[in-house]
A and B are shown apart, each in its own frame.
Chain A
Amino acid sequence: MIALATPAVVIPTFGGSPSSYACERANRLFCANWVSRNWSSVLWPALRQHIVLSVVAVAIGFAIAFALALVAHRRRAVERPVILISGVLYTIPSLALFEILVPFRPLGLSARTAEVALVSYTLLILFRNILTGLRDVPDDVREAAAGMGMTARQTLWRVELPLALPSIIAGVRIATVTVIALATVASYICDEGLGVPILAAIQDGVFKTELITAGGLAVALALCADGLLVLLQRALTPWSRAQAR
Protein backbone atom coordinates (compact mmCIF):
# COMPACT_ATOMS: atom_id res chain seq x y z
CA MET A 1 0.00 0.00 0.00
CA ILE A 2 2.71 2.42 0.96
CA ALA A 3 4.57 1.64 -2.24
CA LEU A 4 1.51 2.42 -4.33
CA ALA A 5 0.84 5.63 -2.51
CA THR A 6 4.41 6.89 -2.71
CA PRO A 7 3.96 9.20 -5.71
CA ALA A 8 1.38 11.15 -3.78
CA VAL A 9 3.26 11.37 -0.54
CA VAL A 10 6.74 12.29 -1.70
CA ILE A 11 6.80 14.94 -4.36
CA PRO A 12 9.43 13.71 -6.77
CA THR A 13 12.08 16.02 -8.13
CA PHE A 14 12.73 14.03 -11.30
CA GLY A 15 10.99 13.95 -14.65
CA GLY A 16 9.02 16.78 -16.18
CA SER A 17 9.46 20.43 -15.69
CA PRO A 18 9.24 21.75 -12.14
CA SER A 19 6.20 23.77 -13.08
CA SER A 20 4.17 20.60 -13.66
CA TYR A 21 4.39 19.97 -9.92
CA ALA A 22 3.33 23.48 -8.96
CA CYS A 23 -0.10 22.29 -7.96
CA GLU A 24 1.26 19.60 -5.68
CA ARG A 25 3.74 21.97 -4.10
CA ALA A 26 1.00 24.47 -3.36
CA ASN A 27 -1.11 21.52 -2.12
CA ARG A 28 -4.24 22.70 -3.88
CA LEU A 29 -7.50 20.81 -3.36
CA PHE A 30 -7.39 19.09 -6.74
CA CYS A 31 -4.41 18.62 -9.11
CA ALA A 32 -5.38 17.39 -12.58
CA ASN A 33 -1.72 16.78 -13.43
CA TRP A 34 -1.39 14.33 -10.58
CA VAL A 35 -4.38 12.39 -11.87
CA SER A 36 -3.00 12.05 -15.38
CA ARG A 37 0.45 11.10 -14.06
CA ASN A 38 -0.94 8.41 -11.74
CA TRP A 39 -3.79 7.11 -13.87
CA SER A 40 -2.11 4.05 -15.32
CA SER A 41 -0.01 3.17 -12.26
CA VAL A 42 -2.49 3.76 -9.43
CA LEU A 43 -6.02 4.72 -10.37
CA TRP A 44 -6.78 2.46 -13.33
CA PRO A 45 -5.57 -0.76 -11.61
CA ALA A 46 -7.54 0.18 -8.50
CA LEU A 47 -10.67 0.86 -10.57
CA ARG A 48 -10.29 -2.43 -12.45
CA GLN A 49 -9.86 -4.37 -9.20
CA HIS A 50 -12.86 -2.57 -7.78
CA ILE A 51 -15.03 -3.61 -10.73
CA VAL A 52 -13.91 -7.24 -10.40
CA LEU A 53 -14.53 -7.24 -6.62
CA SER A 54 -18.03 -5.82 -7.09
CA VAL A 55 -19.08 -7.95 -10.06
CA VAL A 56 -17.90 -11.16 -8.41
CA ALA A 57 -19.69 -10.26 -5.16
CA VAL A 58 -23.00 -9.45 -6.88
CA ALA A 59 -22.76 -12.53 -9.12
CA ILE A 60 -22.14 -14.95 -6.27
CA GLY A 61 -24.70 -13.19 -4.07
CA PHE A 62 -27.25 -13.43 -6.88
CA ALA A 63 -26.64 -17.12 -7.44
CA ILE A 64 -27.13 -17.89 -3.75
CA ALA A 65 -30.13 -15.58 -3.29
CA PHE A 66 -31.76 -16.88 -6.50
CA ALA A 67 -31.50 -20.50 -5.42
CA LEU A 68 -32.83 -19.67 -1.95
CA ALA A 69 -35.70 -17.61 -3.39
CA LEU A 70 -36.76 -20.44 -5.70
CA VAL A 71 -36.87 -22.81 -2.75
CA ALA A 72 -38.76 -20.29 -0.60
CA HIS A 73 -41.18 -19.69 -3.49
CA ARG A 74 -42.23 -23.35 -3.31
CA ARG A 75 -41.88 -23.79 0.45
CA ARG A 76 -42.99 -20.85 2.52
CA ALA A 77 -41.35 -22.23 5.66
CA VAL A 78 -37.92 -21.46 4.17
CA GLU A 79 -38.54 -17.73 3.92
CA ARG A 80 -38.31 -16.76 7.58
CA PRO A 81 -34.98 -18.39 8.45
CA VAL A 82 -33.38 -16.99 5.28
CA ILE A 83 -34.63 -13.48 6.04
CA LEU A 84 -33.46 -13.82 9.62
CA ILE A 85 -29.93 -15.00 8.81
CA SER A 86 -29.36 -12.65 5.87
CA GLY A 87 -30.82 -9.84 8.00
CA VAL A 88 -28.30 -10.49 10.77
CA LEU A 89 -25.46 -10.57 8.22
CA TYR A 90 -26.71 -7.31 6.75
CA THR A 91 -26.61 -5.50 10.07
CA ILE A 92 -23.04 -6.46 11.04
CA PRO A 93 -20.83 -3.39 10.52
CA SER A 94 -18.60 -4.06 7.54
CA LEU A 95 -15.29 -3.36 9.29
CA ALA A 96 -16.27 -5.69 12.12
CA LEU A 97 -17.25 -8.39 9.65
CA PHE A 98 -13.88 -8.15 7.89
CA GLU A 99 -12.10 -8.49 11.22
CA ILE A 100 -14.26 -11.48 12.21
CA LEU A 101 -13.48 -13.29 8.93
CA VAL A 102 -9.73 -12.71 8.79
CA PRO A 103 -8.74 -15.43 11.35
CA PHE A 104 -10.43 -18.17 9.32
CA ARG A 105 -7.82 -20.34 7.60
CA PRO A 106 -8.69 -20.18 3.90
CA LEU A 107 -9.57 -16.52 4.11
CA GLY A 108 -7.07 -14.38 6.00
CA LEU A 109 -5.92 -11.06 4.62
CA SER A 110 -7.10 -11.64 1.05
CA ALA A 111 -9.65 -10.60 -1.53
CA ARG A 112 -11.53 -13.82 -0.69
CA THR A 113 -12.33 -12.43 2.76
CA ALA A 114 -13.56 -9.23 1.18
CA GLU A 115 -15.77 -11.21 -1.21
CA VAL A 116 -17.35 -13.25 1.58
CA ALA A 117 -18.25 -10.06 3.41
CA LEU A 118 -19.54 -8.29 0.29
CA VAL A 119 -21.63 -11.31 -0.78
CA SER A 120 -23.22 -11.49 2.65
CA TYR A 121 -24.41 -7.89 2.26
CA THR A 122 -26.17 -8.62 -1.05
CA LEU A 123 -28.16 -11.63 0.18
CA LEU A 124 -30.95 -9.88 2.04
CA ILE A 125 -31.71 -7.38 -0.71
CA LEU A 126 -31.50 -9.89 -3.56
CA PHE A 127 -33.43 -12.65 -1.80
CA ARG A 128 -36.25 -10.31 -0.83
CA ASN A 129 -36.58 -8.75 -4.25
CA ILE A 130 -36.48 -12.03 -6.16
CA LEU A 131 -39.05 -13.61 -3.85
CA THR A 132 -41.32 -10.55 -3.90
CA GLY A 133 -41.16 -10.49 -7.68
CA LEU A 134 -42.19 -14.14 -7.88
CA ARG A 135 -44.95 -13.72 -5.30
CA ASP A 136 -46.39 -10.63 -7.00
CA VAL A 137 -47.24 -12.50 -10.19
CA PRO A 138 -51.03 -12.07 -10.43
CA ASP A 139 -53.06 -15.13 -9.44
CA ASP A 140 -55.10 -15.05 -12.63
CA VAL A 141 -51.91 -15.29 -14.69
CA ARG A 142 -50.74 -18.28 -12.70
CA GLU A 143 -54.19 -19.84 -12.94
CA ALA A 144 -54.20 -19.37 -16.71
CA ALA A 145 -50.74 -20.90 -17.02
CA ALA A 146 -51.75 -23.99 -15.06
CA GLY A 147 -55.09 -24.21 -16.84
CA MET A 148 -53.40 -24.32 -20.22
CA GLY A 149 -51.23 -27.22 -19.16
CA MET A 150 -47.92 -25.62 -18.20
CA THR A 151 -45.89 -27.61 -15.71
CA ALA A 152 -44.64 -25.88 -12.56
CA ARG A 153 -41.20 -25.55 -14.17
CA GLN A 154 -42.60 -24.09 -17.39
CA THR A 155 -44.70 -21.65 -15.39
CA LEU A 156 -41.61 -20.57 -13.44
CA TRP A 157 -39.33 -19.97 -16.41
CA ARG A 158 -41.84 -18.76 -18.99
CA VAL A 159 -44.19 -16.73 -16.81
CA GLU A 160 -43.17 -16.10 -13.22
CA LEU A 161 -39.50 -15.18 -13.68
CA PRO A 162 -40.06 -12.88 -16.67
CA LEU A 163 -42.78 -11.08 -14.72
CA ALA A 164 -40.52 -10.86 -11.66
CA LEU A 165 -37.72 -9.24 -13.69
CA PRO A 166 -38.44 -5.61 -12.76
CA SER A 167 -38.34 -6.48 -9.06
CA ILE A 168 -35.26 -8.69 -9.51
CA ILE A 169 -33.35 -6.02 -11.42
CA ALA A 170 -34.36 -3.40 -8.86
CA GLY A 171 -32.74 -5.64 -6.23
CA VAL A 172 -29.61 -6.09 -8.31
CA ARG A 173 -29.33 -2.30 -8.69
CA ILE A 174 -29.46 -1.69 -4.94
CA ALA A 175 -27.07 -4.58 -4.25
CA THR A 176 -24.60 -3.37 -6.88
CA VAL A 177 -24.50 0.22 -5.64
CA THR A 178 -24.17 -0.99 -2.06
CA VAL A 179 -21.32 -3.35 -2.93
CA ILE A 180 -19.44 -0.71 -4.93
CA ALA A 181 -19.59 1.62 -1.94
CA LEU A 182 -18.68 -1.08 0.59
CA ALA A 183 -15.84 -2.50 -1.49
CA THR A 184 -13.76 0.60 -0.72
CA VAL A 185 -13.58 -0.59 2.88
CA ALA A 186 -12.05 -3.88 1.70
CA SER A 187 -8.68 -2.10 1.46
CA TYR A 188 -8.32 -2.57 5.21
CA ILE A 189 -7.75 -6.27 4.64
CA CYS A 190 -6.47 -6.55 1.05
CA ASP A 191 -4.58 -4.45 -1.46
CA GLU A 192 -7.39 -4.22 -3.97
CA GLY A 193 -9.91 -1.72 -5.19
CA LEU A 194 -10.42 2.03 -5.00
CA GLY A 195 -10.18 1.79 -1.26
CA VAL A 196 -6.39 1.46 -1.62
CA PRO A 197 -5.73 5.02 -2.87
CA ILE A 198 -8.43 6.33 -0.54
CA LEU A 199 -6.79 4.71 2.46
CA ALA A 200 -3.39 5.97 1.35
CA ALA A 201 -4.74 9.49 1.10
CA ILE A 202 -6.33 9.26 4.53
CA GLN A 203 -3.05 8.06 6.02
CA ASP A 204 -1.20 10.86 4.23
CA GLY A 205 -3.67 13.35 5.63
CA VAL A 206 -2.48 16.38 3.63
CA PHE A 207 -2.77 15.83 -0.08
CA LYS A 208 -6.45 15.66 -1.11
CA THR A 209 -6.36 14.95 -4.88
CA GLU A 210 -5.96 11.23 -4.49
CA LEU A 211 -8.86 10.99 -2.04
CA ILE A 212 -11.14 13.07 -4.21
CA THR A 213 -10.25 11.20 -7.41
CA ALA A 214 -10.58 7.69 -6.00
CA GLY A 215 -13.76 8.56 -4.15
CA GLY A 216 -15.14 10.23 -7.26
CA LEU A 217 -14.30 7.15 -9.33
CA ALA A 218 -16.22 4.95 -6.88
CA VAL A 219 -19.25 7.23 -7.15
CA ALA A 220 -18.98 7.35 -10.95
CA LEU A 221 -18.66 3.58 -11.09
CA ALA A 222 -21.81 3.16 -9.00
CA LEU A 223 -23.74 5.58 -11.20
CA CYS A 224 -22.54 3.85 -14.39
CA ALA A 225 -23.42 0.39 -13.08
CA ASP A 226 -26.86 1.62 -12.04
CA GLY A 227 -27.40 3.20 -15.44
CA LEU A 228 -26.35 0.04 -17.25
CA LEU A 229 -28.78 -2.01 -15.17
CA VAL A 230 -31.59 0.40 -16.01
CA LEU A 231 -30.80 -0.08 -19.70
CA LEU A 232 -30.69 -3.83 -19.18
CA GLN A 233 -34.12 -3.76 -17.59
CA ARG A 234 -35.55 -1.73 -20.44
CA ALA A 235 -34.15 -4.18 -22.95
CA LEU A 236 -35.47 -7.20 -21.07
CA THR A 237 -38.92 -5.89 -20.20
CA PRO A 238 -40.28 -4.04 -23.25
CA TRP A 239 -43.78 -4.90 -22.06
CA SER A 240 -43.46 -2.87 -18.87
CA ARG A 241 -43.43 0.33 -20.89
CA ALA A 242 -46.37 -0.65 -23.10
CA GLN A 243 -49.22 1.68 -22.25
CA ALA A 244 -52.83 1.69 -23.36
CA ARG A 245 -53.11 3.44 -26.69
Chain B
Amino acid sequence: MEEQDFIDDLIAGKQFAYGKLLDLFQQKVFATCISFVPNKEDAEDIAQDVFVEVFNSIHKFKGNSKLSTWIYRITTNKCLEFIRKKNTKKRFAFLQSLTGNDIALDKTNYFTEINHPGIVLEQKETSDTLFLAINKLPEAQRIVFTLNKIDDKSYKEISEITDKSISSIESLLFRAKKNLQISLEHFYKNEK
Protein backbone atom coordinates (compact mmCIF):
# COMPACT_ATOMS: atom_id res chain seq x y z
CA MET B 1 0.00 0.00 0.00
CA GLU B 2 2.89 2.31 0.86
CA GLU B 3 4.48 1.64 -2.52
CA GLN B 4 1.15 2.39 -4.21
CA ASP B 5 1.00 5.79 -2.47
CA PHE B 6 4.54 6.46 -3.61
CA ILE B 7 3.65 5.50 -7.18
CA ASP B 8 0.57 7.77 -7.03
CA ASP B 9 2.82 10.65 -5.99
CA LEU B 10 5.15 9.87 -8.89
CA ILE B 11 2.21 9.81 -11.32
CA ALA B 12 1.06 13.16 -9.91
CA GLY B 13 4.54 14.51 -10.76
CA LYS B 14 5.35 15.53 -7.20
CA GLN B 15 8.90 16.77 -6.93
CA PHE B 16 9.57 15.30 -3.48
CA ALA B 17 8.56 11.85 -4.75
CA TYR B 18 11.15 12.05 -7.52
CA GLY B 19 13.72 13.24 -4.99
CA LYS B 20 12.99 10.13 -2.95
CA LEU B 21 13.09 7.93 -6.06
CA LEU B 22 16.54 9.27 -6.91
CA ASP B 23 17.76 8.76 -3.34
CA LEU B 24 16.57 5.16 -3.49
CA PHE B 25 17.68 4.21 -6.98
CA GLN B 26 20.38 6.52 -8.33
CA GLN B 27 23.24 4.34 -7.10
CA LYS B 28 21.64 1.05 -8.16
CA VAL B 29 20.67 2.30 -11.61
CA PHE B 30 24.11 3.79 -12.13
CA ALA B 31 25.75 0.53 -11.00
CA THR B 32 23.76 -1.40 -13.60
CA CYS B 33 24.60 1.17 -16.29
CA ILE B 34 28.33 1.07 -15.60
CA SER B 35 28.21 -2.73 -15.64
CA PHE B 36 26.94 -2.67 -19.21
CA VAL B 37 28.77 0.47 -20.36
CA PRO B 38 32.21 0.67 -18.72
CA ASN B 39 32.55 4.43 -19.01
CA LYS B 40 31.57 6.68 -16.09
CA GLU B 41 30.32 9.67 -18.13
CA ASP B 42 28.29 7.56 -20.54
CA ALA B 43 26.87 5.47 -17.69
CA GLU B 44 25.74 8.64 -15.90
CA ASP B 45 24.10 9.96 -19.07
CA ILE B 46 22.24 6.67 -19.51
CA ALA B 47 21.20 6.66 -15.83
CA GLN B 48 19.82 10.17 -16.31
CA ASP B 49 17.89 9.00 -19.38
CA VAL B 50 16.46 6.17 -17.28
CA PHE B 51 15.02 8.58 -14.69
CA VAL B 52 13.64 10.87 -17.40
CA GLU B 53 11.99 7.81 -19.00
CA VAL B 54 10.54 6.81 -15.62
CA PHE B 55 9.23 10.36 -15.22
CA ASN B 56 7.61 10.33 -18.68
CA SER B 57 6.22 6.79 -18.57
CA ILE B 58 5.22 6.29 -14.93
CA HIS B 59 1.54 6.52 -15.95
CA LYS B 60 2.11 3.36 -18.05
CA PHE B 61 3.33 1.40 -15.01
CA LYS B 62 0.54 -1.10 -14.31
CA GLY B 63 1.94 -2.54 -11.11
CA ASN B 64 2.32 -6.06 -12.54
CA SER B 65 5.86 -6.10 -11.17
CA LYS B 66 7.73 -4.27 -8.44
CA LEU B 67 8.66 -0.67 -9.20
CA SER B 68 12.35 -1.56 -8.83
CA THR B 69 12.01 -4.37 -11.39
CA TRP B 70 10.32 -1.99 -13.84
CA ILE B 71 13.12 0.56 -13.36
CA TYR B 72 15.85 -2.08 -13.87
CA ARG B 73 14.06 -3.22 -17.03
CA ILE B 74 14.16 0.33 -18.38
CA THR B 75 17.82 0.56 -17.34
CA THR B 76 18.74 -2.65 -19.17
CA ASN B 77 16.90 -1.53 -22.30
CA LYS B 78 18.55 1.89 -22.28
CA CYS B 79 22.00 0.32 -21.92
CA LEU B 80 21.37 -2.12 -24.77
CA GLU B 81 20.03 0.71 -26.91
CA PHE B 82 23.25 2.66 -26.26
CA ILE B 83 25.47 -0.34 -27.10
CA ARG B 84 23.47 -1.04 -30.26
CA LYS B 85 23.92 2.57 -31.37
CA LYS B 86 27.67 2.38 -30.76
CA ASN B 87 27.91 -0.87 -32.74
CA THR B 88 25.79 0.54 -35.60
CA LYS B 89 28.02 3.60 -35.85
CA LYS B 90 31.00 1.29 -36.16
CA ARG B 91 29.31 -0.80 -38.88
CA PHE B 92 28.33 2.39 -40.72
CA ALA B 93 31.93 3.65 -40.63
CA PHE B 94 33.08 0.28 -41.95
CA LEU B 95 30.58 0.39 -44.84
CA GLN B 96 31.65 3.92 -45.69
CA SER B 97 35.26 2.84 -45.84
CA LEU B 98 34.22 0.05 -48.25
CA THR B 99 32.38 2.45 -50.54
CA GLY B 100 35.48 4.61 -50.70
CA ASN B 101 34.21 7.62 -48.81
CA ASP B 102 36.73 9.83 -47.13
CA ILE B 103 35.69 9.01 -43.58
CA ALA B 104 38.46 6.93 -42.10
CA LEU B 105 37.67 3.55 -40.62
CA ASP B 106 37.52 3.74 -36.86
CA LYS B 107 39.46 0.67 -35.84
CA THR B 108 38.96 1.22 -32.15
CA ASN B 109 36.10 -0.54 -30.44
CA TYR B 110 33.99 1.30 -27.88
CA PHE B 111 34.81 -1.42 -25.35
CA THR B 112 38.54 -0.86 -25.69
CA GLU B 113 38.26 2.70 -24.38
CA ILE B 114 37.21 1.76 -20.88
CA ASN B 115 36.96 4.49 -18.29
CA HIS B 116 35.73 2.56 -15.25
CA PRO B 117 37.00 3.95 -11.93
CA GLY B 118 36.18 0.64 -10.24
CA ILE B 119 38.78 -1.24 -12.26
CA VAL B 120 42.20 -1.25 -10.64
CA LEU B 121 45.17 -0.52 -12.87
CA GLU B 122 46.66 -4.01 -12.59
CA GLN B 123 43.39 -5.50 -13.79
CA LYS B 124 42.77 -2.96 -16.55
CA GLU B 125 44.08 -5.00 -19.44
CA THR B 126 42.28 -8.16 -18.31
CA SER B 127 39.05 -6.23 -17.76
CA ASP B 128 39.32 -4.63 -21.20
CA THR B 129 39.59 -8.10 -22.72
CA LEU B 130 36.63 -9.32 -20.68
CA PHE B 131 34.38 -6.42 -21.75
CA LEU B 132 35.44 -6.90 -25.36
CA ALA B 133 34.50 -10.58 -25.15
CA ILE B 134 31.18 -9.83 -23.41
CA ASN B 135 30.31 -7.42 -26.23
CA LYS B 136 30.62 -10.29 -28.71
CA LEU B 137 28.03 -12.42 -26.89
CA PRO B 138 24.44 -12.69 -28.17
CA GLU B 139 22.23 -10.08 -26.47
CA ALA B 140 20.29 -12.43 -24.16
CA GLN B 141 23.51 -14.04 -22.90
CA ARG B 142 25.16 -10.67 -22.49
CA ILE B 143 22.30 -9.36 -20.35
CA VAL B 144 22.32 -12.37 -18.04
CA PHE B 145 26.10 -12.52 -17.71
CA THR B 146 26.46 -8.78 -17.06
CA LEU B 147 23.65 -8.62 -14.53
CA ASN B 148 24.89 -11.67 -12.66
CA LYS B 149 28.68 -11.46 -12.85
CA ILE B 150 29.32 -7.71 -13.10
CA ASP B 151 26.28 -6.14 -11.44
CA ASP B 152 26.03 -8.96 -8.88
CA LYS B 153 22.29 -9.51 -9.22
CA SER B 154 20.70 -12.77 -8.08
CA TYR B 155 19.06 -15.27 -10.46
CA LYS B 156 15.67 -14.30 -9.02
CA GLU B 157 16.23 -10.59 -9.72
CA ILE B 158 17.46 -11.32 -13.26
CA SER B 159 14.51 -13.60 -13.84
CA GLU B 160 12.13 -10.78 -12.85
CA ILE B 161 13.94 -8.15 -14.93
CA THR B 162 14.15 -10.28 -18.07
CA ASP B 163 10.78 -11.99 -17.55
CA LYS B 164 12.39 -15.42 -17.98
CA SER B 165 12.36 -18.49 -15.75
CA ILE B 166 15.27 -19.19 -13.43
CA SER B 167 16.13 -22.34 -15.37
CA SER B 168 16.43 -20.38 -18.61
CA ILE B 169 18.63 -17.83 -16.81
CA GLU B 170 20.90 -20.68 -15.69
CA SER B 171 21.00 -22.04 -19.20
CA LEU B 172 21.80 -18.62 -20.71
CA LEU B 173 24.55 -18.09 -18.15
CA PHE B 174 26.04 -21.49 -18.91
CA ARG B 175 26.05 -20.76 -22.65
CA ALA B 176 27.50 -17.27 -22.03
CA LYS B 177 30.40 -18.73 -20.05
CA LYS B 178 31.00 -21.36 -22.72
CA ASN B 179 31.03 -18.75 -25.49
CA LEU B 180 33.30 -16.48 -23.47
CA GLN B 181 35.68 -19.38 -22.92
CA ILE B 182 35.84 -20.00 -26.70
CA SER B 183 36.21 -16.32 -27.49
CA LEU B 184 38.96 -15.77 -24.88
CA GLU B 185 40.76 -18.95 -25.93
CA HIS B 186 40.83 -17.66 -29.49
CA PHE B 187 41.99 -14.23 -28.30
CA TYR B 188 44.86 -15.50 -26.15
CA LYS B 189 45.99 -18.04 -28.77
CA ASN B 190 46.37 -15.29 -31.35
CA GLU B 191 47.93 -12.86 -28.90
CA LYS B 192 51.52 -11.99 -29.72
A and B bind: no
